[in-house]
Amino acid sequence: MHMWKKTITILVILVIAGGAYGWYLYNKKPADIRKQTNCIELKATALAEAFNQDEAVANRLYVEKVLIVSGKVSNVQVDNAGHATVFLETGDPLSSITCGFYDDETGSVKKMVPGTIVRVKGNCTGKLVDVILNKCSLAE
């Protein structure tokens, strides 16, 4: 009978530890891209060209990496919820670089004028029609 008590005690401790670790992971905040220092820098035209030439290779090189992309603003959108999106020209009329900004960056995005050259830092998530960068901010 003594062995059953030890086994049940160990199982209860493991369940509590597993639950606590799950709770920690559930409540963990995502990494702030703005604080990342190891970034890949390139121009919007080069990023779009890489995805147009060979998407599989570009996915391996850029997806889930923090990029600093420089390019000309073609359009700025801020929706009613305050989500800001900037589109960078790529030289291809059918695609652009779509940059979804942090909500607290909306003020600086509203000041952007199409035609302005900017440097945007964000996390590349791949290509749909456009190459997508999320968690963006203006790079220093």
109: number of Cβ within 10 Å: 24
Instruction: Judge residue 59's burial from the number of C-beta atoms within 10 Å of its C-beta, 0-12 exposed, 13-18 middle, 19 or more buried.
Output: middle
Could you state, in order of their start, the residue ranges of all structural domains in the chain? Answer: 1-30, 33-138
Choose among 79, 60, 84, 95: nearest CA to 135: 84
Please give the model's pTM, rounded to 2 decimal places.
Answer: 0.77
Distance (Å, rounded) from C-alpha 68 to C-alpha 80?
A: 27
Cα separation, 65 vs 71, in Å, equals 18
> 110-125, pLDDT tens digit by residue?
888 999 999 999 999 9
* Domain spanning 33-138: CATH superfamily: Nucleic acid-binding proteins (2.40.50.140)
User: 25's torsion region: left (phi>0), alpha (psi -120 to 50) or beta?
Assistant: alpha
pLDDT in tens, the chain (140 residues): 578 888 999 999 999 999 999 999 888 887 777 777 778 999 999 999 999 999 999 999 999 999 999 999 999 998 888 889 999 999 888 889 999 998 888 888 888 899 999 999 999 999 988 999 999 998 87
**pLDDT of res. 1:** 57
Percent of the chain at pLDDT > 90 equals 61
